[in-house]
Amino acid sequence: MTTTERTDIVVIGSGFGGAIAAYHLAAGGAKVVVLERGPWLSSEEFEHDFILGSSSTRIFEFVAGRGMSVLGGNCVGGGSVVFFATMPRAPSFVFERQGSIGRRLFPAAITRETLNPWYDRVVEALPVHRQEWSEVTYPGGLWAAACRHAGHTANPVPVAIDTAMCTNCNWMMAGCRFDAKRSLLMNYLPAAISHGAQIRPLHEAQQLPGTTTATTGCTTASSTTRTTGCRRAAARSTRRSSCSRPAPAPRR
């Protein structure tokens, strides 16, 4: 069955690129629809297991490339659900790297200095904090000691984790069951919903006629989508989208 809908903005994907854009656009008054190919899981649905069919095997996407393989998220929240929550800022030299064509890979206007105010906003919104050595896990302490023994320095990294709630279960990559990891499920996405954005899990964009905007992941063109998954999953996603969980409001 084919239906036609009209909206101001369609955002493809609900990971870091899509969720943050969706929030700011919705907060600015636009009618926003977010399409996500993967399922929408609540924290209690994340399973500490890699058995085929468990939640962890449904929220990953593995892409094998030439010289590099990428393990990403395939769920509402995208990569923020399955990453290790380390949030270091890219060093200045990263932006000055040149590709094989002999020119700077980043636009001239993008530097560490120009990004610092935006880093600050994300630090406040997630939030992010730098660990104390007393919060570092035992394996992390061993690694730091080995670095020091070899004549290198090691420092605790900034993390998007509520360390008071973290149980050090070592299953962070399978989704956090304790809401300790500050994934986008805990901040930008609820805030976008509070401003009227719609998030539609199990919807895959298959065709995008027209031209996309400069904002990554956003398009004002019409799109053709395919609904994936079963009725049970769709029903669950409908209930989740109308949930009343308090939404931390990222700074505009």
**Residue type at 166?**
C
pLDDT reported for residue 226: 60
Structure tokens at 67: 């010289």
CA distance 126 to 181: 9
Dihedral sign (CA 229, 230, 236, 242): positive
pTM: 0.76
pLDDT at 249: 57
Which pLDDT does position 207 carry in this prediction? 82
Distance CA 2, CA 206 (A): 14
pLDDT at 237: 33
Segments of 117-209 assigned E as strands: 129-130, 158-159, 198-200, 203-207
Domain extents in the chain = 1-80+169-252, 88-125, 129-159
At residue 227, the pLDDT reads 56
What pLDDT score does 247 carry?
A: 43
Cα 198-204-210 angle, rounded to 5 deg: 85
Per-residue pLDDT 10s for the chain (252 aa) are 677 889 999 999 999 999 999 999 999 999 999 999 999 999 999 988 877 777 777 888 888 888 888 888 999 999 999 999 999 999 999 999 887 878 888 999 999 999 999 999 999 999 998 888 888 888 889 999 999 999 999 988 899 999 889 888 888 888 999 999 999 999 999 999 999 999 999 999 888 776 555 444 444 444 455 655 433 333 333 333 333 333 445 544
